[in-house]
């Protein structure tokens, strides 16, 4: 099967005194249609910048170096002009970030933000976009979606905001969802709900997911493969079970050894 996403030798440069720094320094990875690849690393490893680069969202003065290649669904992302790039964002790949409050527009209702995305990608009437937006809000499990359509982001809890972000991401039916620490800001019981939702949406839409995270716990039970990133490079890529059972790279070994673990005994049977 051909890859949905194929990244070759991605390098991102930031100007610094004494010459450019490369926080992403030769990353190559692939994601197959419907696959969940986890990109795992600690802060500063370059995992977030890698995710941003896929949609050409690297913040200036950072720039993607010549020689890098990003192909998404057979499109050369780095060669696109502005308008086709706009169409690619959302339609081919959509992104969900850690902090939904910072990603949502505070002066538009959440429903307006979902229907805005629908209308940006499909030639539909305002009325049809609104219906589609309500259906999306219902699909992501927002309680009472018809009423919540008119809610502003600050009126929702963190878990509900992240559900709205997922509705926006789904609005253009992307083939790839890039989820950057989607549950790191959420409480553990809310995190479990949002991750279950992500699993359900992925199954229903056959979406591929690039899950960017520092938390190997949320990776273990859902990723098909794991890529471990350190200092701008991918040091190891392996199927999830193999990576946890026999990590090959010393950094992966130390990362796995450092995870605090719960004692699992009687384990809260109800």
Partner 1 sequence: MTAPLLEVQDLVVHYPGGGLFRRGAPVCAVNGVSFSVARGETLALVGESGSGKSSLARTILRLQAKQGGTVRFGGTDLFALRGRALRAERRRLQIVFQDPASSLNPRMRIGDAVAEGLAIHALAPRAEWPARVAALLGEVGLDPALAARWPHELSGGQKQRVAIARALAVEPALVVLDEAVSALDVSVQAQVLTLLTTLQQRRGLAYLFIAHDLAVVAQVAHRVAVLYAGRVVEEGPVGSILTAPRHPYTQALLAAVPAPDPSAPPPRLLLQGDPPDPSALPPGCPLWPRCPHPARDAHCQAERPALRPVGPTHAACHHAGPAA
Instruction: Give the binding site for partner 1 (CB under 8 A).
Output: 42-43, 143, 157-160, 187-193, 195-196, 214-221, 240-241, 244-245, 254-256, 258-270
Q: CA 114 to CA 133: how far, in whole Å?
A: 5
Nearest to 137 by CA among 110, 106, 103, 159: 110
- Structure tokens, 153: 């982001």
Which residue number, 196 or 204, has a Cβ lying nearer to partner 1? 196
Nearer to partner 1, 73 or 139 (CB): 139
Share of the chain residues as helix, strand and coil, in percent rounded to the nearest 5: 40, 25, 35
Give the shortest CB-174-to-partner 1 separation in angstroms: 25
Please give the helix or strand (H or E) that residue 93 lies within, else none: strand 93-96
The residue (of 68 and 183) whose beta carbon lies closer to partner 1 is 183
For the bound state, the minimum distance from the C-beta of residue 157 to partner 1, rounded and expressed in Å, comes to 5
Q: Min. distance of Cβ 219 from partner 1 in angstroms?
A: 8
CB of 258 to partner 1, least distance (A): 4
Name which of 135, 187, 130 is nearest 160 in CA terms: 187
Nearer to partner 1, 25 or 42 (CB): 42
| Residue with tokens 């049809």, as numbered in its chain | 128
Exposure on the CB side of residue 201, measured as CA atoms within 13 A? 28
Shortest gap between Cβ of 256 and partner 1 (angstroms)? 7
Residue whose CB is less far from partner 1, 41 or 174: 41
Contact 45, 51 (CB under 8 A): no
């Amino acid at each position: 099967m051909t890859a949905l996403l194929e990244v070759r030798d991605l390098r991102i440069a930031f100007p610094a005194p004494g010459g450019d720094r490369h926080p992403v320094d030769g990353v190559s990875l692939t994601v197959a249609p419907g696959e969940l690849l986890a990109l795992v690393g600690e802060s500063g490893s370059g995992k977030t910048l890698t995710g941003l680069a896929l949609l050409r969202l690297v913040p200036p003065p950072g720039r993607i170096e010549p020689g890098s290649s990003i192909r998404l669904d057979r499109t050369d992302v780095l060669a696109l002009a502005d308008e086709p790039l706009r169409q690619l964002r959302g339609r081919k790949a959509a992104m969900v970030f850690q902090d939904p409050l910072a990603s949502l527009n505070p002066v538009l209702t959440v429903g307006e933000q979902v229907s805005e995305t629908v209308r940006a990608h499909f030639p539909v009437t305002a009325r049809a976009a609104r219906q589609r937006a309500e259906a999306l809000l219902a699909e992501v499990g927002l309680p009472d979606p018809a009423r919540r359509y008119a809610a502003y982001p600050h009126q929702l809890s963190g878990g509900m905001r992240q559900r709205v972000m997922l509705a926006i991401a789904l609005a253009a039916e992307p083939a790839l969802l890039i989820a950057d620490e989607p549950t790191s800001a959420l409480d553990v019981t809310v995190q479990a709900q949002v991750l279950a939702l992500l699993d359900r949406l992925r199954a229903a839409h056959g979406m591929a997911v690039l899950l960017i995270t520092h938390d190997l716990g949320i990776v273990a039970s859902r990723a098909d493969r794991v890529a471990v990133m350190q200092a701008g490079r991918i040091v190891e890529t392996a199927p999830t079970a193999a990576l946890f059972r026999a990590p090959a790279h010393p950094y992966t070994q130390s990362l796995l050894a450092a995870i605090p673990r719960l004692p699992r005994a009687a384990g809260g049977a109800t």
